[in-house]
C-alpha cells in the first residue's frame, strides 16, 4: 500500500533535527521518484513555527562589513546558510501546502528542496572548517514571515517568495562573494565555486517561481500590484543582477518598473 505524499512530507518539514530531516528527505525523494506515494489532496495542511536558530529582528543583527576575522567570516557564511536552510523549508512547504496541482509542480519544488539542501551542506561544511556550525549565531525570520503570509494563496507564494525574495538573492550573491573575498583565510579558495553553484541553481529556482506564478495568477494580475500588497518585503536589490534576473524570467521593462517602484521613490 502506498503511503500518502502529504503526510510523509509533513513529518520531514517539521522535523526538529536538521540532519535527520535531510536524511528523511533524501529517502522520501528517492521514493517519490520511484512513484511510491499516493496524493490524498484532501489532507489538511498545518502551519507551525519552524526555526532552528535564535531569531532577532533584522535591524538588531550586526552584519560584518568585511571578513577581516574568522568570527566575521563565520557570521557572513552563517547568514547565507540560514537563507539556504529557510529555502529548504520554503520549497518543502510549497510541495506540502498547495494541493490539486500538476505533478510537475511537486517535481519542481522537491527538486528545489534537494538543491537547497546541497547548498546548505556546502555552507555548513565550510562553517565547520572554521570551528562553527549552523545555529551558532542569531538570524532573522523574514522568509518564514513571507511563508506564513502567503500560506493560503499559491500566486502570492510564488510571486513574493520564489519570484521575489529568491530573486533578491540573485542580486546579493556577487556582493556577498566580494565581501567574503576580503579575507586572507585559506578557506577563501572555496568561495567562488560554492557561490557559483548557488547562483546557477537559484536562477533555475526563480525561473520555476516565475513559471508557477504565471500559472497561478489571474490573467490581469500585475506583479507591481502584488509588490505593493506586500510592501513589508523589498523584492529588488539597490543594485540588481540584471543578467541573472533575465535568465530567470524577468524582462527589461519589468526590471525598470521594479527599480522605479523600490529604488526611485
DSSP string, 129-188: HTT--TTSS-B--HHHHHHHHTTT-HHHIIIIIIIIIHHHHHHHHHHHHHHHTT---GGG
As for how many domains the chain has, the answer is: 1
In a domain, 24, yes or no: no
- Could you give the angle at the alpha carbon of 100 between the alpha carbons of 28 and 107, nearest 5°? 40
CA distance 258 to 20: 40
Alpha-carbon distances of 87 from 146, 165, 236, 239, rounded to whole Å: 11, 10, 18, 22
For helices 70-97 and 5-13, what crossing angle results, to 10°?
160
Nearest CA to 25 out of 157, 151, 120 is that of 120
CA distance 186 to 207: 35
In a domain, 56, yes or no: no
In a domain, 47, yes or no: no
Q: pTM to 2 decimals?
A: 0.95
Other C-beta atoms closer than 10 Å to the C-beta of 164 total 26
Residue 35 Rama label (left phi>0; alpha psi -120 to 50; beta)? left
| Cell output for 135 | 545555529
CATH number of 176's domain: 1.20.1260.10
Other C-beta atoms closer than 10 Å to the C-beta of 118 total 16
CA distance 87 to 164: 13
In a domain, 34, yes or no: no
Other C-beta atoms closer than 10 Å to the C-beta of 79 total 19
In a domain, 48, yes or no: no
Q: State the pLDDT at residue 49.
A: 78
Q: Which domain holds residue 158?
A: 69-263
Instruction: Spell out, as residue ranges, where the chain has pLDDT lower than 50.
Output: none
Q: State the pLDDT at residue 138.
A: 85
In a domain, 1, yes or no: no
In a domain, 87, yes or no: yes
Q: State the pLDDT at residue 247.
A: 98
Q: State the pLDDT at residue 57.
A: 62
The tens digit of pLDDT for each residue in 180-231 reads 998 989 999 999 999 999 999 999 999 999 999 999 999 999 999 999 999 9
Show the DSSP H helices in the chain as ranges: 5-13, 18-33, 70-97, 103-129, 142-149, 154-156, 166-180, 191-216, 223-229, 242-248, 252-263
In a domain, 132, yes or no: yes
Amino acid at each position: 500500500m502506498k503511503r500518502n505524499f502529504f503526510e510523509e512530507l509533513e513529518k520531514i518539514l517539521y522535523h526538529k533535527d536538521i540532519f535527520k530531516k535531510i536524511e528523511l528527505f533524501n529517502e522520501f525523494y528517492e521514493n517519490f521518484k520511484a512513484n511510491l506515494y499516493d496524493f490524498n489532496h484532501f489532507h489538511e495542511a498545518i502551519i507551525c513555527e519552524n526555526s532552528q536558530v535564535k531569531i532577532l529582528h533584522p535591524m538588531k543583527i550586526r552584519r560584518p562589513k568585511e571578513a577581516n576575522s574568522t568570527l566575521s567570516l563565520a557570521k557572513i557564511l552563517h547568514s547565507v546558510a540560514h537563507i539556504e536552510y529557510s529555502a529548504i523549508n520554503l520549497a518543502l512547504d510549497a510541495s506540502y501546502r498547495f494541493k490539486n496541482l500538476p505533478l510537475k509542480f511537486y517535481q519542481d519544488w522537491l527538486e528545489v528542496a534537494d538543491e537547497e539542501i546541497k547548498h546548505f551542506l556546502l555552507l555548513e561544511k565550510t562553517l565547520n572548517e572554521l570551528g562553527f556550525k549552523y545555529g551558532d549565531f542569531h538570524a532573522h525570520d523574514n522568509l518564514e514571515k513571507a511563508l506564513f503570509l502567503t500560506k493560503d494563496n499559491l500566486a502570492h507564494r510564488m510571486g513574493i517568495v520564489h519570484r521575489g525574495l529568491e530573486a533578491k538573492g540573485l542580486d546579493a550573491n556577487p556582493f556577498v562573494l566580494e565581501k567574503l573575498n576580503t579575507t586572507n583565510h585559506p578557506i577563501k579558495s572555496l568561495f567562488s565555486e560554492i557561490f557559483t553553484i548557488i547562483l546557477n541553481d537559484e536562477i533555475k529556482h526563480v525561473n520555476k517561481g516565475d513559471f508557477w506564478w504565471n500559472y497561478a495568477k489571474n490573467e490581469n494580475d500585475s506583479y507591481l500590484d502584488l509588490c505593493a500588497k506586500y510592501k513589508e518585503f523589498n523584492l529588488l536589490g539597490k543594485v540588481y543582477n540584471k543578467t541573472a534576473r533575465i535568465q530567470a524570467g524577468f524582462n527589461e521593462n519589468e526590471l525598470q518598473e521594479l527599480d522605479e517602484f523600490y529604488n526611485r521613490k
